[in-house]
Amino acid sequence: MLRPVKMSRVVVAGSKSVISPVVEKLHELRLLHIVNYNGSQPQFEIGKPIGKAKEYSEDLIKLRSITRYLDLKNKAPDKTYPESQVLSEMDNLLNNVGADVTATYERIAAIEAEVKSKQDQIKSLTPLAVLPLPLDAYYGYESLATFVGTAKTPVDADVARVSPANEIFSGSAKNATFVAVFVPADKAGEVSSVLSEHGFSELSVPKLEGNVDSAIASLEGSIKSLEGEKAPLQKKLVDIKKQYEDLMLATDEYLSMETRKTEAPLRFAETDNAFVIDGYVPADQFSRLKSELESAAGGKIEVSLIADKEAEGLVEKGEDVPSQMDNPSLVKPYELITRLFAIPEYKEFDPSLLIFVFFPIMFGMILGDVGYGVMILIVLMMLKKKFRTPGWQQLINVVMVGGVWAVIFGIFFGEIFGPLGLWGRIMGHMHEHEIELAKEAGLYFGEGVFGTLGRLGPLGIFPLDRLATNAVLLLIGTSIFIGVIHCGVGSILGIKTELNYGEKKHAYFERLPVMLFQVFFCIALLGLIMGQSILTYLGIIVVVVSIVMLVMGPEGAMGLAHVPSYVSNLISYLRLLAIGLASVGLAYAANQLAFYVIMPMLSGGATNSAEFTIPAIIAGILILVVVHFINFLLGILSPFMHPLRLHYVEMFTKFYSAHGGGVEYSPFGHVRRFLKA
């Protein structure tokens, strides 16, 4: 579980006459992770595609353009199709339906372009309404130059100065002055420079006839009729999409599958008569691969296992052993978090199991509220039906387990929608004199009780009100304790990983001192707090020893530079308490505001809840809903992000991905979604 699946390096060599059935079988088995041949050996060349590779990829391009027109997105399948049905309907789909879709789409695009140009024309026509000229007066002259546009200052006098023969019309609208200047063509240059001194900016006048208003009206009319034509065409596309969606995705799947099969030999090494495939297969599946391939190729093939020693040599030459994470179904969703960071290398540990253990507990400890926890579960149940792709499902499962822990911690913390919330009303709380007594004894951990059971745990610390001083101190300790365990597990895995890579010095003088330092640093602190000087001295001695070991390690004295970060790693775990406190604080503020400020105030200073007026209660509930909703949204986000950080930064740096991440095992083959097996 903590390790990727064991892999075997295999070589498949066979006669070229059986290449098709072999590829077909490999695709069906989905076992062999092919190592691409790079053409490095002169006696082998890179293989060539087999069969109808070109046709398939052409069909695929055709289909993809149709699906793009239809705006088809990948989705969870509603319906699956047998391959024979896809084959029989493919021609109709690609040609008839395809042509229909293309024509419709192009017509819609043309209509949209036309509407756009007409709208632009209307836009440039509107200001011309202030000038007393019909539209055909603006164009069609040979000896006249026309300038139409806006000017900041009156232009008449200056234009008359450079061109005595002129005709100028002007009018103003919307804080701008519009002018139309007609001058002889040979004066155009001078007039243009004069106009620019007046801040003239030109408008383009559409070549239309009649007066401005009627032209705008007729443009608007034609836009309307074009829109009228567009609507049924769009509906037609939607209908086609609805009718053929799954079939198209199934065809896409079929064609991609076939393309991949026909192009597979590009990854093989070939001679004139034979082919060779290199690859990895999970060790326990080798015999199955061998027997299946041999029967498919009728004996014209040799499937052999490469000895571990020789395989090591290949790895040293730069070949990556693919890693397949191997976790029980409960842990599977947490592979998402591992994968987001890096794929584990073949020799590394797969941290998914550890994430499964620690992540939800941290999530729960931060959120720690029965109300929010139950709400998260309800919301996620609904989202789970909506988002059915595997990635979303995994993410939802991860958060759901966190939600369960939030409910559990909520019971420990005595919170239903924050302290002062529903807990006291449902489960009851201590009497005031009992609270006073507890405070005097310095043992006040909160005022909630578990119904008739009263307070539980040593010194009666549960339900633990996280805002009480004693509880904060207790939780600081708990957070650091979790940190020591979390980092310690990481360090142990780090030591083992380095040993796997044969780096003894790194293991014992780089990884081990970190663990010793962090554990015994905390033991020393614990000794200080508890007043046990033996613990303190023991802690300090081991810390010093670990620092000496670090200096002896591969980094030498430079290793000392890391020491502060080992302390800060541990302090970082305080966020488990801190983020939680922030969310409790907000919930507390909401409850305080509603029950102890808004409701009494609006009820004219009533002190007990029976006297609250209806409007006061409504206003109070409104405040509660809004603030708790905001807190709830934050309450999903930060309890997710911060444990994520604790794993990525504090834990993974101890053992994971130090050598740069691995390659995922992706066997040649295809998981059918829209196609029936």
Partner 1 sequence: MAVVADAGVLYGLLAVGAGLATGLAGIGAGVGEQGIGAAVVGVVAEEPGFLGKGLFLMLLPETLIIFGLAVSLILMFAWTPFAAIVTP
Measured from the CB atom, the residue of 259 and 470 that comes closer to partner 1 is 470
Q: CA of 173: how far to CAs of 146, 157, 199, in Å? A: 20, 21, 16
State the minimum distance, in angstroms, from the CB of residue 578 to partner 1. 5
What CA–CA distance (Å, rounded) separates 419 from 513? 43
**Buried b or exposed e, range 262-286, using 16+ CB within 10 angstroms:** bbbbebbbbeeebbbbbbbbbeebb
Measured from the CB atom, the residue of 341 and 595 that comes closer to partner 1 is 341
State the minimum distance, in angstroms, from the CB of residue 653 to partner 1. 9
Residue 467: HSE in the Cβ half-sphere, 13 Å Cα cutoff: 15
Pick from 489, 214, 151: nearest CA to 353:
489
State the minimum distance, in angstroms, from the CB of residue 663 to partner 1. 12
State the minimum distance, in angstroms, from the CB of residue 359 to partner 1. 14
State the minimum distance, in angstroms, from the CB of residue 337 to partner 1. 8
Measured from the CB atom, the residue of 414 and 643 that comes closer to partner 1 is 643
Measured from the CB atom, the residue of 449 and 579 that comes closer to partner 1 is 579
Determine phi and psi for 292, rounding to 5 degrees: -65, -45
Pick from 471, 452, 451: nearest CA to 461:
471
In eight-state DSSP terms, residue 206 is P
Q: Find all residues with CB under 8 Å of 195, minimum gap 6, and list them.
A: 147, 149, 151, 155, 159, 181
State the minimum distance, in angstroms, from the CB of residue 467 to partner 1. 11
- The dihedral sign for the CA sequence 132, 138, 144, 145: positive
State the minimum distance, in angstroms, from the CB of residue 530 to partner 1. 14
How many other CB atoms are there within 10 angstroms of residue 573's CB atom?
24
State the minimum distance, in angstroms, from the CB of residue 577 to partner 1. 8
Q: Find all residues with CB under 8 Å of 199, minimum gap 6, and list them.
A: 151, 152, 153
Measured from the CB atom, the residue of 626 and 649 that comes closer to partner 1 is 649
Q: Find out whether 160 and 242 touch, Cβ atoms under 8 Å.
A: no
Q: CA of 176: how far to CAs of 219, 225, 286, 471, in Å? A: 24, 33, 83, 70
Pick from 614, 631, 643, 602: nearest CA to 419:
631
Q: Can you give the length of the chain in residues?
A: 677
Measured from the CB atom, the residue of 185 and 649 that comes closer to partner 1 is 649
Measured from the CB atom, the residue of 149 and 527 that comes closer to partner 1 is 527
Q: Which residues bind partner 1 (CB under 8 A)?
A: 339-342, 469, 472-473, 476, 568, 571-572, 574-575, 578, 641-642, 644-645, 648-649, 652
State the minimum distance, in angstroms, from the CB of residue 585 to partner 1. 12
Measured from the CB atom, the residue of 138 and 588 that comes closer to partner 1 is 588
Measured from the CB atom, the residue of 168 and 563 that comes closer to partner 1 is 563
State the minimum distance, in angstroms, from the CB of residue 341 to partner 1. 4
86 token code pair: 């896809």
Measured from the CB atom, the residue of 356 and 656 that comes closer to partner 1 is 656
